[in-house]
């Protein structure tokens, strides 16, 4: 969407120019992955219960529109984990540990919310910052292992997902101020620590989404306009050359992983500090030794957004949208897990959507565009 808006820079409206833009090709390949994912979901629905497949599919695609507030609320944590994964990806790191960082952030935010007494208006901000710190610590460690001990960040951060999850669940369960053992969930977060609501009735949407979008824009500026972003991308593209150019690769790896972890930690904080639709209450967390799914959904969000901070905003909203739609399918007898399957399928196709598209493009060109092809060749040789 945004790519088409970017086009007016050119004085003349020229379809060819647009199709050559890199953003456009990311957009179309993401679209292709989404379509394939949805088709797959539809087929599963047809298989499970042909009678209500159409109705169910309509919920998936359109259901979220009726609940825009919730779509944005649930988009907030995956926007943050998406940014986390995408940011690390720019540096050539695959932060599969967003999940653990997210959980750690969630705990740090909870801790500050319950255990610290702070004035209204400041409490929730400090709690958010605490969440960021928690995530940063959990991202820093795999970064450190990668940079100084040469341990692959993928394995490390997976291990830290488990370690973090066990630790947090243990800490929560052993803290009576936070945990209610009869409901096996955490208590409602004190009012002063809840993020102010955006005031859309019947929805949890809160100021967190605004902060999230602001952060995405800041990240975009950092990556595109600053020397830090320049170094980061250079290292991601070619770590040898960046080292030859005197960039501090190891420092940047640790920094990037810490920032990435901080972003995921913010996601955890935004989730748990959100006010719920019921007055005075907030979201709660149930420590049952399960790895947080929002961390992995961040991978989907990041891939769909091609690791581009602004693209990630849109993909987070989109994923949240079909998730909301997915929960509605239970009205016609489906299980909401169907959306997780669809998301996984989307990731799968995103992994090679670019290649698939280009080979499809080549096929079409070879059938219909022989002449144009030749012209291109001549032009290239003339260079």
Partner 1 sequence: MDIVYYLVQNMLPVAIPLLLVALGGMFSERSGVINIGLEGIMLFGAYFGALFVYNVQGTSMGPQTILLLGMLIAGIAGFLYSLLLSFAAVSMKANQVISGTALNMMIPAAVLLFSKMFFNSDGITTNKNFYIREIPILGDIPVIGQLFFQRTYLTVIIGFVFLAIATIVLYKTRFGLRLRACGEHPHAADSVGINVYKMRYAGVSISGVLAGIGGYFYSVGVMDGNVNGHTGVAGFGFLALAVMIFGQWKPIRIMFAALFFAFLRTLAYSVSLIPFLFNLGINQTYYKMLPYLATMLVLALTSKKSRAPKAEGIPYDKSQR
Partner 2 sequence: MENYIVEMLNITKEFPGIIANDDITLKLKKGEIHALLGENGAGKSTLMSVLFGLYQAEKGIIKMNGKEVKINNPNDANALGIGMVHQHFKLVEVFTVLENIILGVEPNKMGFLQESEAKEKVLYLSEKYGLKVNPDALIEDISVGMQQRVEILKMLYRDNEILIFDEPTAVLTPQEIKELLKIMKDLANEGKSILFITHKLNEIMEVSDRCTVLRKGKYMGTVDVKDTTKEELSRMMVGRDITFTVEKEEAKPKDVVLSIKNMTVASKIHKNNAIRDVSFDVRAGEIVCLAGIDGNGQTEFVHALTGLEKLVSGSIKLCGKDISRSSIRQRSMGGMSHIPEDRHKHGLVLDYTLEENLVLQRYWQKQFQNNGFIKFGEVRKYAEDLIERFDIRSGQGPETITRSMSGGNQQKAIIAREIDKEHELLVAVQPTRGLDVGAIEYIHKQLVDRRDAGKAVLLISLELDEVMNVSDRILVIYEGEIVGELNPKETNVQELGLYMSGAKRNTSKEIKNEG
- Between 180 and 360, whose beta carbon lies closer to partner 1? 360
Return the one option of partner 1, partner 2, none that residue 162 interacts with (CB less than 5 to 8 A, by type): partner 1
In this structure, are strands 179-180 and 185-186 parallel, antiparallel, or unpaired?
A: antiparallel
Cβ contact 29:23 at 8 Å? no
Q: How far is the CB of 74 from partner 1 (least distance, A)?
A: 16
Cβ contact 221:310 at 8 Å? no
Q: How far is the CB of 90 from partner 2 (least distance, A)?
A: 12
Q: How far is the CB of 47 from partner 1 (least distance, A)?
A: 10
Distance CA 185, CA 167 (A): 16
Return the one option of partner 2, partner 1, none that residue 185 interacts with (CB less than 5 to 8 A, by type): none
Return the one option of partner 2, partner 1, none that residue 3 interacts with (CB less than 5 to 8 A, by type): none
Distance CA 209, CA 68 (A): 12
- Between 153 and 209, whose beta carbon lies closer to partner 1? 153
Q: Residue 327 has which token pair?
A: 């929960």
Q: Which residues bind partner 1 (CB under 8 A)?
A: 44, 48, 94, 96, 145, 149-152, 154-156, 158-160, 162-163, 166-167, 169-170, 174, 288-290, 296, 299-300, 303, 335, 337-338, 340-341, 343-345, 347-348, 350-352, 355-356
- Between 123 and 146, whose beta carbon lies closer to partner 1? 146
Distance CA 181, CA 187 (A): 10
Residue 119, SS3 per DSSP? coil
Return the one option of partner 1, partner 2, none that residue 70 interacts with (CB less than 5 to 8 A, by type): none
Return the one option of partner 2, partner 1, none that residue 356 interacts with (CB less than 5 to 8 A, by type): partner 1
- Between 337 and 383, whose beta carbon lies closer to partner 2? 383
Distance CA 188, CA 200 (A): 20
Q: How far is the CB of 91 from partner 2 (least distance, A)?
A: 13
* Long-range contacts at 39-46 (CB < 8 A, ≥ 24 apart): 40/341, 40/342, 40/345, 41/338, 41/339, 41/341, 41/342, 41/345, 44/338, 44/341, 45/329, 45/334, 45/338
Q: How far is the CB of 166 from partner 1 (least distance, A)?
A: 5
Distance CA 331, CA 204 (A): 22
Return the one option of partner 1, partner 2, none that residue 343 interacts with (CB less than 5 to 8 A, by type): partner 1
Return the one option of partner 2, partner 1, none that residue 344 interacts with (CB less than 5 to 8 A, by type): partner 1
Cβ contact 80:95 at 8 Å? no
Q: How far is the CB of 158 from partner 1 (least distance, A)?
A: 5
Q: Which residues bind partner 2 (CB under 8 A)?
A: 225-228, 230, 233-234, 237-238, 240-246, 376-377, 380-381, 383
């Amino acid at each position: 969407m945004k790519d088409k808006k970017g086009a007016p820079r050119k004085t003349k409206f020229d379809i060819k120019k647009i199709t050559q833009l890199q953003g456009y090709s990311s957009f179309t390949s993401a679209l292709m992955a989404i379509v394939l994912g949805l088709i797959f979901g539809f087929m599963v629905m047809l298989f499970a219960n042909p009678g209500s497949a159409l109705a169910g599919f309509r919920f998936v695609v359109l259901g979220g529109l009726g609940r825009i507030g919730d779509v944005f609320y649930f988009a907030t944590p995956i926007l943050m984990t998406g940014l986390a994964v995408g940011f690390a990806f720019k540096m050539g790191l695959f932060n599969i540990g967003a999940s653990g960082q997210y959980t750690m952030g969630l705990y740090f935010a909870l801790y500050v919310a319950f255990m610290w007494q702070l004035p209204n208006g400041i409490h929730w901000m400090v709690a958010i910052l605490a969440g960021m710190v928690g995530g940063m610590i959990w991202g820093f460690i795999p970064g450190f292992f990668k940079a100084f001990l040469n341990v692959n960040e993928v394995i490390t951060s997976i291990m830290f997902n488990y370690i973090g999850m066990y630790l947090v669940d243990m800490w929560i369960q052993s803290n009576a101020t936070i945990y209610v053992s009869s409901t096996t969930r955490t208590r409602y977060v004190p009012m002063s620590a809840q993020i102010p609501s955006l005031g859309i009735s019947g929805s949890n949407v809160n100021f967190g989404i605004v902060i999230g979008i602001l952060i995405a824009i800041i990240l975009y500026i950092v990556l595109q306009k600053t020397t830090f972003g320049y170094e980061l991308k250079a290292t991601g593209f070619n770590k040898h050359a960046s080292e030859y150019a005197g960039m501090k690769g190891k420092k940047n790896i640790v920094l990037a992983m810490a920032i990435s972890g901080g972003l995921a930690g913010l996601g955890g904080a935004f989730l748990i500090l959100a006010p719920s639709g019921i007055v005075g209450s907030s979201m709660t967390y149930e420590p049952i030794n399960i790895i947080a799914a929002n961390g992995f959904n961040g991978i989907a969000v990041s891939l769909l957004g091609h690791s581009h901070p602004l693209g990630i905003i849109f993909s987070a909203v989109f994923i949240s949208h079909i998730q909301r739609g997915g929960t509605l399918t239970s009205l016609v007898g489906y299980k909401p897990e169907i959306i997780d399957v669809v998301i996984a399928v989307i990731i799968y196709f995103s992994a090679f959507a670019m290649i698939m598209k280009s080979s499809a493009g080549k096929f079409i060109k070879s059938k219909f565009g022989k002449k144009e092809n030749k012209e291109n060749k001549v032009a290239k040789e003339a260079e």
